[in-house]
């Protein structure tokens, strides 16, 4: 399916967890401080894309295999719902009613929100449009926008790439996503041609991101 709903943590929580998990790593702190100083006009807290600690399903019978289950009741219930889908993506829900049913079982609702991701980049649905993100549809919900310059996890851009990245990032909207499809395509083409980038580019899709009122 090319349309999915994701329950994601709000970005201020994502940023706090990200920084807290790395604050004792000196080389990371130096890198991240330089990154933020160079791109001083971009605040990672504004990002509204796919890479935001997606709530995933957990089979209750093997819960001991999971290190972190922040919302057990909701995540066990989500696993029951996803059994009817012909897909093994543990963070994607393909029906809004099912997504809302999972959301209603979350205790800390104030920490989460629902977004819709449309992999078909030419879909004309624009209600509550947040922008275009670029990355995995499911999987780790990897975003090349977030990973390259906002909250680097796997393929942070090297410092000598910053001047090349800056013109693209100036095109991002208030949600740190692209407003225009052709600009998202241009950035994707630039990214996959870089030596430092994620090389599994067959799984990198432009996705239209919409907010869902809970």
Q: What is the span of the domain harbouring residue 197? A: 3-212
Long-range CB contact pairs, 149-154, < 8 A, 24+:
149/35, 149/39, 149/42, 150/42, 150/44, 150/47, 150/176, 151/14, 151/15, 151/18, 151/44, 151/47, 151/51, 152/31, 152/32, 152/35, 154/198
Query: Which sign does the torsion angle of CA 201, 203, 208, 214 carry?
Result: negative
Q: Tell me how far apart the alpha carbons of residues 32 and 152 are, in angstroms, rounded to a whole number.
A: 9
pTM of the predicted structure, to 2 decimals? 0.92
- pLDDT (tens, 9 = 90+) of the chain, 214 residues, equals 789 999 999 999 999 999 999 999 999 999 999 999 999 999 999 999 999 999 999 999 998 888 889 999 999 999 999 988 777 788 999 999 999 999 999 999 999 999 999 986 655 555 689 999 999 999 889 999 999 999 999 999 999 999 999 999 999 999 999 999 999 999 999 999 999 999 888 899 999 999 998 7
- The total domain count for the chain is 1
Residue 143 backbone phi and psi in degrees, to 5: -120, 130
Residue located via tokens 């208030």: 174
Q: How deeply is 83 buried, as exposed, middle or buried, from its count of CB atoms within 10 A (0-12, 13-18, 19+)?
A: exposed
């Amino acid at each position: 399916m090319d349309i999915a709903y994701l329950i994601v943590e709000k970005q201020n929580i994502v940023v706090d967890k990200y920084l807290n998990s790395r604050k004792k790593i000196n080389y990371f702190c130096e890198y991240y401080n330089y990154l933020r100083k160079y791109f001083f006009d971009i605040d990672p807290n504004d990002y509204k894309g796919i890479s935001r600690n997606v709530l995933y399903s957990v089979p209750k019978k093997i819960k001991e295999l999971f290190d972190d289950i922040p919302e057990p009741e909701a995540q066990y219930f989500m696993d029951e719902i996803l059994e009817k889908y012909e897909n093994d993506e543990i963070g994607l829900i393909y029906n809004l009613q099912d997504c809302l049913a999972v959301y209603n079982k979350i205790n800390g609702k104030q920490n989460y929100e629902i977004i819709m991701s449309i992999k078909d980049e030419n879909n004309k649905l624009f209600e509550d449009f947040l922008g275009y993100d670029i990355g995995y549809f499911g999987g780790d919900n990897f975003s090349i926008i977030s990973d390259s310059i906002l909250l680097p996890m796997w393929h942070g851009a090297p410092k000598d790439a910053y001047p090349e990245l800056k013109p693209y990032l100036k095109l991002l909207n208030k949600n740190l996503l692209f407003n225009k499809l052709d600009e998202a395509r241009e950035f994707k083409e630039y990214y996959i041609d870089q030596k430092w980038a994620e090389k599994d580019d067959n799984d990198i899709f432009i996705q239209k991101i919409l907010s869902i009122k809970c």
